[in-house]
Amino acid sequence: MIGSYPVCITRGGVLLAAVASLWRLGPPRRAAGSNQRMTWEQLWDPLQPTEQERRMDPRVVAATDHEVVVLWRQRGLQSSGRRLDMETLGLYGVRDGKFARSQMFYFDTAAVLSFLQKPG
């Protein structure tokens, strides 16, 4: 299980039944001017106010018993109307049938950083 989402084991690999929930488990980040770390959810929830921004359109690219590679879209919307919409590759580790780690590979990290650092 990943939270309340099941991990489905199939012959030939592992498939995550609810890949769209995985973004919530991303790495922590420090809030501006603070020693407090923000969770992935705290960072992205305000930037994904509607279902349109939360939609990931995930596609499993490859899977083994221990890893899953998923191509998905990272979307966001700032209050100014500025949008982010790009492909992202996620590498997810699975151990004992459970989600163990995640690593995201953005195709344009400069665009993501600019979007996150320059609020709308």
Residue-wise pLDDT tens digits, 97-117: 777 888 889 999 889 888 988
Q: What is the 3-state secondary structure (H, E, C) of 83-110?
A: EEEEEEEEEEEEECCEEEEEEEEECCHH
Which of 1.10.287, 3.60.90, 3.30.310, 3.10.450 is the CATH number of 7-117?
3.10.450
Report the pLDDT value the prediction gives residue 120, as an integer from 0 to 100.
Answer: 62
Mean pLDDT of 84-88: 95
pTM of the model: 0.67
Measured CA to CA in angstroms, residue 57 lies from 19, 53, 112 at distances of: 9, 11, 18
Measured CA to CA in angstroms, residue 74 lies from 52, 89, 98, 114 at distances of: 11, 10, 23, 14
pLDDT at residue 11 greater than cutoff 60: no
Report the pLDDT value the prediction gives residue 33, as an integer from 0 to 100.
Answer: 59
